[in-house]
A and B are shown apart, each in its own frame.
Chain A
């Protein structure tokens, strides 16, 4: 399954302006596959990563895309990934997803500067709502 998309694929899918792109970062492969299917069937372009490093090594577009990042990833957590991306100049809006809520997670979510937080399992409707919120933010910016 998709772990790291080839560079040309990334260029092609992300640089086109017609469809908004979702950059998905989730390490559980079955969840990753399912979310990708859902988003594709909703009409989005999807680029999926299962490791934070792969995201940092790739080239991300400046606009027209939104990040959907799982909180609990190997190597670094979702918030750290977003902070690192922001430090590199990335201004894409972020939606955080998590399967688990406790004190530590709540605090992390606060730091994330995310447009929305989704708890697994989430519905298609709540996902679409979060995505439109993210792109509204982008439009305003």
Chain B
């Protein structure tokens, strides 16, 4: 039996005796694993945020298999909470993942302490754990593993999780080189988790901002929405009072009364529709995907914004060219982007003479399969030096403008993997073009450029 020194430079638990079965790592095996780690690193550079969790589980599997182990797991740990929650894992046999979470303070206090102190724990056998880890030893005996390495994962300089690579049936040795490679893997996983956290947070903020902007836009439309509702209400009121009058006569005109009642019913339906449409726009923040027919979407937009066009005396033309294949999209957000472009267009023609106040909203599908939504106005146009900054957050040419509308519209379009572009001739007009990719090419809602911050 070989005698090994009490402490090692990395501070890991010292085995008191060499395990009976030590795995021999040939140079070839080490090299193969080295290549695997490089492949893993590249994979995590390339992976898109929405696939990070899947990718982590995939690579836990590959690492476990490559090293002849049985189980790999990541558990989120927290100094202020007793519980460690398993967030990722792979095991040779189902059922070897031991549930969603465990009481780390009760079962693995010593290991938890080491993790939070950013120290790797190498456990060739359960007996190799020191005396102060008696509780942990007991837990290991009960839940497996027979031999493992546990490595802390830092995110933003703070330990937030621990990854464990374990063997469930045999004890084994862990050469320093292998431990170092596993520490590299842990670090890469940490970067990936950090990226996911940051992007998730950014998407949440972006959704909140989009929602706030939409409420603001609805505020701008308030007057015209009120007008839209006042029309059917006026019809209902007049019809009802006319019926009252007619009923007072000696021979009421029953047919006319019936016609008036029918008009009341349809007026009510019209008012109800407007309110329903409005309520939909006040919907909560998260993105909601659904099969969306762009033709219907634009028809709704024209109903929402129709009164505003009337009040501002703008002639709004809608030109939808079929076929337009439906796409998976967030209906409310696309409507928000289009409404924003239309309101800008109305502003642009506000100074033009009345008969020339034309805004066109058109849609068609290109040969390539992508869908185009175009808003064109023949208004005052955008100055060449303002054009490159037109989509910047907080950039506005209006005295009361907040400058967020176009930035958010672009953000919405890009979240759908599309493009929002503009061309303009001062004095001749402006055209905004939304391009949405082929229906079959998804996924959606992966990273897109932040609205505020770097380009």
Q: Real complex partners, A and B?
A: yes
The interface of chain A, by Cβ under 8 A from chain B, is 28, 30-31, 33-35, 37-38, 40-42, 72, 74, 76-77, 99-102, 104-105, 119-124
Extra pairs beyond A38-B239, A100-B226, A120-B233 (5, CB < 8 Å): A30-B235, A31-B234, A34-B235, A99-B231, A105-B311
Contacts of A101 in B (CB 8 A): 223
Contact B227 A100 (CB under 8 A): yes
**Which among B224, B256, B313 is the interface contact of A77 at CB below 8 angstroms?**
B313
**Are the C-beta atoms of A37 and B242 separated by less than 8 Å?**
yes
Q: Are A121 and B226 in contact (CB under 8 A)?
A: no
Query: Does B267 make an interface contact (CB < 8 A)?
Result: yes
B415-447 CB contacts (< 8 Å) to partner A: none
CA distance A105 to B310 in the complex (A): 12
Which of chain B's residues 208-262 have a Cβ closer than 8 Å to chain A? 223-224, 226-227, 230-239, 241-242, 245-246, 256, 260
Q: Is B234 touching A34 in the complex (CB atoms < 8 A)?
A: yes
Given contacts A34-B235, A100-B311, A102-B223, contact A121 B242 (CB under 8 A): no
| Of B223, B224, B226, B241, the contact of A38 (CB 8 Å cutoff) | B241
Do B224 and A100 touch across chains, with their CB atoms under 8 A apart?
yes
Complex: how many Å from CA A124 to CA B231?
16
Contacts of B236 in A (CB 8 A): 34, 121
With beta carbons under 8 angstroms apart, the residue of A35, A74, A100, A102 that contacts B238 is A35
Bound complex: CA of A33 vs CA of B243, how far in Å? Answer: 13
Which residues on B sit within 8 Å (CB–CB) of A104?
A: 311
* Contact between chains at B242 and A30 (CB < 8 Å): no
Inter-chain contact B234/A37, CB cutoff 8 Å: no
Contact A38–B313 (Cβ < 8 Å): no
| Partner among A34, A42, A105 whose Cβ is within 8 Å of the Cβ of B263 | A34
**A30 touching B231 in the complex, CB below 8 Å, given contacts A37-B256, A77-B313, A102-B223:** yes
Minimum CB–CB distance for A135 against chain B, Å: 19
A residues near B246, Cβ cutoff 8 Å: 41
Contact A30 B230 (CB under 8 A): no
Query: Could you tell me the distance between the alpha carbons of A34 and B260 in the complex, rounded to whole angstroms?
Result: 7
Q: Which residues of B contact A35 (CB under 8 A)?
A: 234, 238
Q: With CB as the reference atom, state the residue of chain B lying closest to A28.
A: B231
Q: How far is the CA of A41 from the CA of B239 in the complex (A)?
A: 10
B227 touches A37 (CB 8 A): no
Interface readout for B281-313 with A: 1 if CB under 8 Å, 0 if not?
000000000000000000000000001001101
Given the interface pairs A31-B234, A120-B231, the reply to whether A37 lies near B223 with Cβ below 8 Å is no
B234 contacts A38, C-beta separation under 8 Å: no
Query: Complex Cα distance A28/B313, Å?
Result: 15
Determine how close the nearest CB of chain B comes to the CB of A80; give it in whole angstroms.
Answer: 9
Cα A128 to Cα B32 in complex, Å, equals 95
Asked if A30 and B311 sit within 8 Å, CB to CB, the answer is: no
Are B233 and A121 in contact (CB-based, < 8 A)?
yes
* Residue B266 interfacial (CB < 8 Å): yes
CB B222 to nearest CB in A, in angstroms, measures 10
Cβ contact within 8 Å between B235 and A33? yes
A65 CB, nearest partner CB in chain B, Å: 20
* CB-based nearest B residue for A29: B235
B310 touches A72 (CB 8 A): yes
- Note all chain A residues with C-beta closer than 8 A to B354: 76
> 15 A-B residue contacts at CB 8 Å?
A30-B231, A30-B232, A30-B266, A31-B235, A33-B263, A34-B236, A34-B237, A34-B260, A34-B267, A35-B238, A37-B260, A72-B227, A102-B223, A121-B236, A122-B234
Q: How far is the CA of A38 from the CA of B237 in the complex (A)?
A: 9
How many Å from the CB of A37 to the closest CB on chain B? 4
A134, B353: Cα distance in complex, Å = 33
| Cα–Cα, bound, A124→B248 (Å) | 15
* Alpha-carbon distance between A119 and B311 when the two chains are bound, in angstroms: 15
Given known contacts A34-B260, A34-B263, is B245 in contact with A42 (CB within 8 Å)? yes
Q: What residue of chain B has the Cβ atom nearest to residue A73's Cβ? A: B310
1/0 per position for B145-160, CB-CB distance to A under 8 A?
0000000000000000
Q: Which of A72, A102, A105, A122 contacts B237 (CB 8 A)?
A: A122
Contact A121 B223 (CB under 8 A): no
What is the CB-to-nearest-CB distance from B233 to chain A, in angstroms, rounded to a whole number?
4
> Which of chain B's residues have a CB closer than 8 A to the CB of A119?
230
Q: Contacts A30-B263, A30-B267, A100-B223 given; indicate if A41 touches B245 (C-beta within 8 A).
A: yes
Nearest opposing residue in chain A for B312, CB measure: A104
Shortest Cβ gap from A53 to chain B (Å): 13
Whether A99 touches B245, Cβ cut-off 8 Å, given contacts A30-B267, A34-B260, is: no
A34 to B268, CA, bound (A): 13
Residues of B within 8 A of A124 (CB): 238, 241-242, 245
What's the Cα separation between A42 and B226 when bound, in Å?
A: 28
A120 CA / B313 CA spacing, docked (Å): 19
A35 and B313 CA atoms in complex are apart in Å by 24
Contact A41 B242 (CB under 8 A): yes
Asked if A121 and B239 sit within 8 Å, CB to CB, the answer is no
Q: How far is the CA of A26 from the CA of B226 in the complex (A)?
A: 18
In the bound assembly, the distance between CA atoms of A95 and B231 in angstroms comes to 17
A29 to B310 CA separation, bound complex (whole angstroms): 15
Separation of A58 and B264 alpha carbons in the complex (Å): 31
B349 to chain A, nearest CB (A): 15
- Cα distance, A138 to B162, chains bound together (Å): 91
Alpha-carbon separation in the docked complex, A123 to B237 (Å): 7
Report the 3 A-B pairs with minimum CB-CB distance, sorted nearest first: A120-B234, A41-B245, A100-B227
